[in-house]
Amino acid sequence: MKYNFDDLADRSNTNSVKYSTPDVLPMWVADMDYKTPDFVLDVIKERVNKGCFGYTEQPNYFYESIIDFYKRNHIIEIKRDDMIFTQGVVPAISSAVRELTNDGDNVLILSPVYNMFYSSILDNNRNALECKLTYNDGIYDIDYDDLDNKLKESKLFIFCNPHNPIGKLWTKEEINKIAKLCIKHNVMVISDEIHSDIVTPGMKTYSFLNITDLDVIMLSSASKSFNLAGLQGSFMVCYNHELLHRLEHRLDVEGQTHGNALVYDALSKAFSDGDNYLSELNKYIYNNKLYVENFIKEEIKDLTYIKGDATYLVWVDVSKVTDNVKRFTAKLKRKYKLWVSSGDTFGSNGAGFIRINLATSHANVVEGMNRLKKAVEDK
């Protein structure tokens, strides 16, 4: 392999959120331990060596790199006037919620789901209306009757594609079925696709942008795939230009449409030169997933590994060993020095689960599983 994913970034003295607790193996927040690839670091260094960081225009090549990337990797045609820059997917979701809904409106989500969806809804005085995913024998599905009924009551639908925390890669058939119900009830969709390029080798994310007879707002970035979250850059795509300009105005008023001096070059280089890196990254993460799946099956039989084909996060059912997942994860961190995410963070139906970040070295994954095994054995 060209890229060495066993050679991790040194996060000391970087004010890292992930490593904010010393002497703990952090496998929680969705932040990779891998070094950002050299081809991206080189353009950042080149920009830094200019020695000044004044106000920066949005270069055309930033948008061209995204257009070409989606054409190559997702077979989707995006034009320059279909998209705008935003300072992050979550801030953009929050702004869209403020622009497209009113106080007290219902905003629909499929739970368990990324916890910041709840924040973007509840912090804006809207109601988070949950369509709870069904869970049977380790498999998650949508209750389409419930989705139909909930969409009747909703002003907006925030969709996670692929789905965090369960790692589900939504199929074309599933997305088309969801879209038909959204069209039926005239509900706009915000599709968070930030994890779309972390997939099982040979598989692809089916973007909601393939749905053209519905108002879809797609948000994504290179931040998850190339470890660039701290640069705070993302983009929004919407084929309804009137709606896009309305959202752009809202984002501009809220100071979210201008990037810093480094972000455009970094993201552009990631999108233009990152295909081989992504291919190797996905193989490495997939092997980490296979190890965890087999380890749990053979060594921690009371846990259930939820198979997912996307994201570097894995979802594990721990309901047979604890009736209090917060207490369980707190003990993991305190006694066994393993930091994972408590499932109830992602909704009430996440209780009984933990989320583990596998975007680290294989050695760390092995160590993390050994610590998890010891914790389960220590009942």
Q: Would you list the DSSP string of 211-274? A: --SS-EEEEE-SHHHHT-GGG--EEEE-S-HHHHHHHHHHHHHTT-S---TTHHHHHHHHHHH-
Give the dihedral of Cα atoms 141, 145, 151, 153; nearest 10 deg. -130
Q: How far apart are CA 157 and CA 328, in angstroms?
A: 32
Stretch 31-54: mean pLDDT, rounded? 97
Omega within 30 of 0 (cis) for the link into 201: no
Q: Quick one: 75 exposed, middle or buried, by C-beta within 10 A (0-12, 13-18, 19+)?
A: exposed
Where does the pLDDT of residue 121 fall: very low under 50, low under 70, confident under 90, or very high at 90 and above?
A: very high
Q: How far apart are CA 142 and CA 110, in angstroms?
A: 8
Stretch 338-347: mean pLDDT, rounded? 98
Q: What does the mean pLDDT of the chain come to?
A: 97
pLDDT at 326: 97
Q: CA nearest 86: which of 54, 62, 116, 122?
A: 62
Stretch 138-142: mean pLDDT, rounded? 97
Return all residues near 106 (Cβ < 8 A) that are at least 6 apart: 126, 127, 129, 150, 153, 154, 155
Q: CA nearest 298: which of 201, 353, 219, 369?
A: 369
Q: Is the pTM of this model over 0.95?
A: yes
Stretch 241-255: mean pLDDT, rounded? 98
pLDDT at 106: 98
Residues 194-233 pLDDT 10s: 999 999 999 999 999 999 999 999 999 999 999 999 999 9
Stretch 129-134: mean pLDDT, rounded? 98
Res 379 pLDDT > 80: no
Q: CA nearest 353: which of 330, 324, 378?
A: 324
For residue 230, the tally of other CB atoms under 10 A from its CB is: 15
Domains assigned to the chain: 25-31+275-377 (3.90.1150.10), 42-273 (3.40.640.10)
pLDDT at 312: 98
Give the dihedral of Cα atoms 340, 174, 233, 270; nearest 10 deg. 90
> Could you tell me how many residues make up the chain?
379
For CA atoms 44, 52, 250, 81, the dihedral sign is negative
- SS3 per residue for 15-84: CCCCCCCCCCEECCCCCCCECCCHHHHHHHHHHHCCCCCCCCCCCHHHHHHHHHHHHHHCCCCCCHHHEE
pLDDT at 206: 98
Which DSSP symbol is given to 320? T
pLDDT at 1: 67
Res 364 pLDDT > 70: yes
Res 153 pLDDT > 70: yes
pLDDT at 149: 98
- Report helix, strand or coil for 143: coil
In the numeric block, the tokens 């997917």 are attached to 89
Q: How far apart are CA 108 and CA 130, in angstroms?
A: 6
- CA angle, 18 as apex, 114 and 94 as ends, to 5°? 35
